[in-house]
Every structure is written in C-alpha cells, then in structure tokens.
Structure 1
Amino acid sequence: MHQTKILNWGIVSTGQIADKFCTDMPFVENAKVTAVAARKLEDAEQFAQKHNIEKVYQGYQALFDDPLIDVIYVATPHNFHFQQVYAALMANKHVLCEKPITISSKEFKTLSCLAKKKNLFLMEAMWSYFLPAVLQAKKWVEQGRIGNIKHIKADFGYAVPYEPKGRMYNPELAGGCLFDMGIYPLAIAHCFKPAPLSEVNIKVQFAKTGVDNDLVILAKANEVTLSLATSFQCRLQNAALIIGDKGYIKIPNFWRAKSCALYQLDEKIEEFNDASLGWGLNHEATQVCSAIINNQIEHAIMPHSVSLLLQQQIEQIKSLF
C-alpha cells in the first residue's frame, strides 16, 4: 500500500492568522504541525496546548535548526518576514510566508534567488487564490459566461482602532492599510486580469503617525478598469465584482470567500457555495504540501512572478503618496 508522505510543519508566531492556520491544518491530509516558535516561551506553550503541538521553541532559529521540520509557516508582522524567511531558507527549510511576503521588491528578489539556488519551495500565502469560490468564479470567466471583462471592483477595509505603537499604525512596523489590507484587492484584480497597472490615480488619507489609513486606487490593467479601495477608517463592502459585457460575478468577502454568484443583467443565473469546513487556509496548505512532495519550488497558482509584481504595484502606488 502506498503510504502518504507527511510533511512536518513549524509555525513562526502565535498570532491570529497562525491560530486560524493551525485550526485548519487537521483538514490537510499530508501535513502535521509538529512545532511552534514564539518570542515568549509561554505564548508558544499556550498555542501548542490549544493546537496539540508536540514541540515548542523560544525564538525562531531553534525551530529553523530542527532537523525534523520540513516546512516553515511565517505569520509574523510583515516587516519581519524578510529576515525570518531568509533564515529559514538558509536552514534548508521550505517556506510558506504570510502576505505581503516582503516590504520591497528588492527584498523579494533576494528571497526568490535564494530559494531557487537552494532548490527550496517558497510561496507567499495568498490563500484567496486557492479558495474554491474564487476558482469557481475564474471558471465562469474562462467559460465566457460574463463575456469580456470591462471592470474589476474590489475593496477591503475594517475600522481599526488607532494605536500609534500597534502594528497597523506604526511606520517602523511597515504599517498602513495598503500593505496590510490593500494587497488583497490588488491580488484579486491580478487574479482575474494579470497585467501591469497603468494610468494609476489615487486618493489617500493618512493617520497621525504618517501611515496611510484610507486609500482608493483607480487604474487600468490593459483594457480593464480597476476600482480598488482599502481602509482602516471603516468597514468597506469587502466584495469583489468582476464585470463583463455579458454579465458579472459577485464574490462577497472575496479575501476569505465562501460563495460567489453569476448575474446576467439583474438576474442571478447561478450560485456557488463552498460547504468545506474550516476557515479555508487548508486549501492553500494542501497545495503547498502537494507541490513540495512533487519537488516543485514554486506553485503555478501563486508563483514568484506574481509576488514580485504585487510588490512592484505597491511601490508604484506608494510613489504617488
């Protein structure tokens, strides 16, 4: 009988997204969360107890040096990603890193080169790209159900209480809504229309700390008009609309999508509801495991080229601040 290869995962950070990720890992058949590391030992111990994880480490290097660990999941604030991913790759570990994977295209190029040189898998954790509802929406587009795409509208925002020292508002922690939430609208636009941005116009507002806390982006991706927004000031609609000349697709809460609907004029023609359990992070983790087991160092759905492009788009937009 062919035995399924099990990959041992090590988790960097015990924050909210790491918690959701580990909650979903039991739905991934060829993965086991074996270790967790945090700056404070008690945080790692509490997290390990909650998620039934055998090993705990204080500090991250000890985790990277553990010979039993195959894959590292990095879920710290994004300004720490570069050094942690770099250290994990240097320790010969495959890496899945939360988005944005770095805070500059230069940093990402360094990591991409290192991963390729060491023949290791590296991917930005763009979980939205792997969600069944988003894949269904893409299928409708490919089938010509909405005709030629004319507009993509997407926004993602939540009212975030103002804490000058907190991760969201602190410029030293690469704060601001573009880095934190804005990557999602940019990524979903690229998912349905992979093209560079042109004719970029922005309306931006800033918090007292100087970071952006409300941003609207108008741009073109070839012949498609993009209307994207992100905010720390208020909850936006948090939906994506893919609008064609024959109909449109609505994806509510597109970043964690559980459903999508196909419309022609005002009539709903078809609907898809994802009945799978969990938050949805398991779809991404399953694909990462599969790619590593098949000796791939990039994933076709979220290759290095897309991560680099998103970094360049963020820089392009920031240059207009």
Structure 2
Amino acid sequence: MKKIRWGLIGAGRIAHQFARDMSFVPNGVLSAIGSRSKVAAEAFGAQYDIPHRFDDYQSLFECDEVDAVYIATPHNLHLAQATSAMAEGKAILCEKPLVTTPEECLEFQRAARHHDVYAMEAMWTYFLPAIRKAKSWVEAGRIGEVRRIQANFGYPIAYDPSLREYDRDLAGGCLLEMGIYPVALAWLFAERDPIDIQAVARTAPNGVEDDVTAIFDYGDMTAALSTSFRCKLHNWATIVGEEGLITIPDFWRAHECHLYHLETRTEHFQDGRESLGLNYQTVAVGEDLAMGRRQSTVVPLEVSLAFQRHMDQLRRHFEAVPS
C-alpha cells in the first residue's frame, strides 16, 4: 500500500493530537512538520520521529516528500495557507472551521478547483463510528421521522482579550471556535438549510460573542443549538423522532450512542477505540486520494459552505448585542 506522506503546519494542541493519532492510520505517515519556530519544529519532529522539519510553512508546501497538508493553525489563517499549499499541488485537510466567512469559503473552493487538488474541512466528528452508527439508525427509520435535533458544546474560557479565542482580529468568539460542532451536527441529520434562524447571544466586554443559543426552523422540524465560553454545557446531542430518540454523549468526540423507543433503551453502540478519533478522517482522506477524488463524499466543500452560511446568519443576530 502506498502511504500518503503528510505534512503538518502548526505545532499546537491540535497538531499534537493529529500526530498522536497517526499511529492508527495504516495508509499514511507523518513526513514533515512546519512551525514558525525552528525550536518548536525540531522538538515536535523529534517527539514524533518526523524526518523533515521546517521553521516556515512555504518550505513545507514546496517539499517533494509531502503529498497532503494538515492545517492546524488558527482559522483566520486557513485560507491564505491552504491557497499557498494548493499552488504547490498539495492535497488539503484543514482544521475546522475551514474559514471565517461564506465569501472566504467560496474563495477556498475556487482555489481548489483552479489548482485541481483535493481539499476537505477536518470535520472529524462526521467520521467517528458512533456518529456513523447514529446516522445509520436514522436512515433505517429506527426513530421514525426526525422532529427535533438538540446539540450543545461549550467549555468555560475566562475572559482575557489577549487570548486568541477572544481576539476579534483573529476571528475569536465561541461561534467559530466551538459552535461549528452543533451547526455541523444539525446539518448532518437535517441535510438541508433551515427556513429561518433565530439566536440569542451574550458578548464579552470587547464585543466578542461568548455565549450563543440558536433555533433552526426547518418547517417540519427544529434544531436547538448552543455554544459557550461562559460555562460547561452538557455537550450531548439528541436526535428526536416520532417513534424514538438517539442520544450521543460528548457528540463532538463521540465514543458511543444510545437508541431509545420512548423510555426504553433498545440498542447501545460503543466503539472501544484507543485513538482520540482523528485517525478516521485521515484514513478517509487517504482512501479518497487513492481513488483520485478531489473532494470528500462525507464533507464536500459545499457542506462547509453551508456551515459558513448558517454561522453567518447567526452572527447577524449578535454583532451589536450588549453583554
């Protein structure tokens, strides 16, 4: 089997998670690490036995020993970095959110088409076995027609305007940082745009949103979604149908899901994995590349555009809302 040679840019927390899970990726190998610091690149490379180490990103993009690039940098940098990597013919797996606006997403799409390269948003949740099992239960009619989707994701991050999460110039705020997960979960089970979106939000002293609650109205169903820097939320997802429901604890990193008929649990799935779960999307990208695809069938760029449109609609509700 020809292994995809991965280059990784950024040496922060998510990059470490991606690198650790590469041991569970039979069709890939970490070939290069790029960081803004030579010391950081050398330390990261030594920790994960990565042969090629760069203190700039462009050198990694130009490296002949790299087939695909995983972008693990702040989301306001994604578009420019991905475009530079695409220009060198590299496949792209880019951390979520892919970009920060619908307009940027369209530009990202155009760049991928222009350079004729593979590109996917790293919505790793979609590839987790428990999420796929829950989706299969819905598709099999196990809960009847879906009528409600509930999902929330939040962890307390104390206000500090110097933090990236609260920095307006770095596209800070809980919507892009954490809210992408509930928004993506709603799309996965609704598979269409809502006819209306309403939201209530609170903002930090510098005006960056730090708590958002939204209702997506689809006409025949609703989605109640929330995200927060102010408090730890339940972080579960619930898919409610006419005949039953599915619960997914910690849905964003799901290990399990439960199927109910009324109050009776009729089935339970647990994946028993040893990895963090980032390996599933990485394997899928490798399979796509082996098949010559330019897009994922699970997270095509049109789906990423839907995420951006929905978050943009939400943003309009709280841009001028006081804390």
Q: TM-score, normalised by structure 2?
A: 0.97
Are 1:141 and 2:138 counterparts? yes
Determine which of 278, 282, 298 is the counterpart of 1:281. 278
Structure 2 residue aligned with 1:69: 66
Identify which range, 40-49 or 127-136, moves more after superposition. 40-49
Structure 1 residue aligned with 2:148: 151
C-alpha distance after superposition, 1:214-251 (max 9, x if no partner): 00001213421110000000110000000001000000
1:138 Cα deviation after fit: 0.5
Runs of 4+ in 1 over 6 A off after TM superposition: none
Are 1:230 and 2:220 counterparts? no
Distance of 1:222 and 1:49 partners within structure 2: 54
Distance of 1:21 and 1:152 partners within structure 2: 29
Determine which of 247, 262, 266 is the counterpart of 2:263. 266
Determine which of 188, 191, 207 is the counterpart of 1:191. 188
Distance of 1:124 and 1:134 partners within structure 2: 17
Q: Secondary structure at the match of 2:304?
A: helix
Q: Secondary structure at the match of 1:197?
A: coil
Are 1:216 and 2:206 counterparts? no
Distance of 2:126 and 2:211 partners within structure 1: 24
Structure 1 residue aligned with 2:321: none
How many residues are paired up? 318
1:156 Cα deviation after fit: 0.1
Q: Secondary structure at the match of 2:282?
A: helix
Determine which of 165, 169, 175 is the counterpart of 1:168. 165
Distance of 2:281 and 2:184 partners within structure 1: 15
1:67 Cα deviation after fit: 1.3
Distance of 1:67 and 1:235 partners within structure 2: 44
Contact residue 194 and residue 221 of structure 1 kept, 8 A: no
Distance of 2:189 and 2:219 partners within structure 1: 12
Q: Secondary structure at the match of 2:195?
A: strand
Distance of 2:218 and 2:97 partners within structure 1: 21
Q: Secondary structure at the match of 1:295?
A: coil
Amino acid at match of 1:309: A
1:13-162 equivalences in 2 (<5 Å): 13-162=10-159
Amino acid at match of 2:264: E
Distance of 2:10 and 2:290 partners within structure 1: 25
Distance of 2:34 and 2:219 partners within structure 1: 44
Determine which of 8, 30, 36 is the counterpart of 2:5. 8
Q: Secondary structure at the match of 2:257?
A: strand
Amino acid at match of 2:217: K
RMSD: 0.8
Amino acid at match of 2:127: F
1:117 Cα deviation after fit: 2.3
Amino acid at match of 1:30: N
Determine which of 253, 257, 280 is the counterpart of 1:256. 253
Structure 2 residue aligned with 1:300: 297
Q: Secondary structure at the match of 2:144?
A: coil
C-alpha distance after superposition, 1:97-140 (max 9, x if no partner): 00011111111111212212222100000000000000000111
Amino acid at match of 2:281: E
Contact residue 196 and residue 222 of structure 1 kept, 8 A: no
Amino acid at match of 2:22: M
Are 1:290 and 2:320 counterparts? no
Distance of 1:284 and 1:58 partners within structure 2: 27
1:47 Cα deviation after fit: 1.1
Q: For structure 1, which runs of at least 5 residues remain unmatched after alignment?
A: none
Distance of 2:120 and 2:100 partners within structure 1: 15
Amino acid at match of 1:52: D
Q: For structure 2, which runs of at least 5 residues remain unmatched after alignment?
A: 319-323
